[in-house]
């Protein structure tokens, strides 16, 4: 299912609804994801200023993804820049947490 997001409040609502659908309490989710309960609360309430890295970590652990629709005239240029960015990122070691919160929930 895809949902168009137009605000931080809408993104927060999607994150909150996803966590609740998994029947995971906010404090438990925060601990499993590796962020503070305060941070997760801010994300779920749609705070305008959050750390991108931690936000992406929350999305990943809840098995949520963000996509961006690029207008056609800019597609090639954006793909080139994204490809260069991914190559630069791939040179650095990445920390991974392994299982997502969603896959942990399925195991129960």
pLDDT digits (tens, 9 = 90+) for 49-105: 999 999 999 999 999 999 988 998 898 999 999 898 888 765 544 555 566 776 655
Indicate the fold that domain 8-93 takes in CATH. 434 Repressor (Amino-terminal Domain) (1.10.260)
Higher pLDDT, 75 or 15: 15
Instruction: Give me the pLDDT at residue 95, please.
Output: 54
80-86-88-90 Cα dihedral, nearest 10 degrees: -150
Q: Domain residues of the chain, as ranges?
A: 8-93
Angstrom CA distances, 49 to 9, 25, 39, 54, 102, stand at 12, 23, 10, 12, 26
Residue 32's pLDDT band (boundaries 50, 70, 90)?
very high
Instruction: Give me the pLDDT at residue 57, please.
Output: 96
Asked whether 13 and 7 are in contact (CB, 8 A), the reply is no
Q: How many CA atoms lie within 13 A of 14 on its CB side?
A: 19
């Amino acid at each position: 299912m895809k949902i168009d997001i137009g605000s931080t409040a809408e993104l927060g609502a999607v994150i909150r609804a996803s966590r609740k659908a998994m029947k995971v309490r906010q404090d438990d989710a925060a601990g499993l994801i590796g962020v503070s309960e305060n941070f997760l609360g801010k994300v779920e309430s749609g705070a305008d200023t959050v750390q991108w890295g931690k936000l992406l970590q929350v999305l990943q652990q809840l098995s949520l993804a963000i996509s961006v629709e690029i207008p056609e005239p800019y597609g090639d240029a954006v793909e080139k820049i994204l490809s260069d960015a991914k190559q630069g990122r791939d040179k650095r070691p990445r920390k991974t947490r392994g299982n997502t919160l969603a896959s942990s929930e399925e195991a129960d």
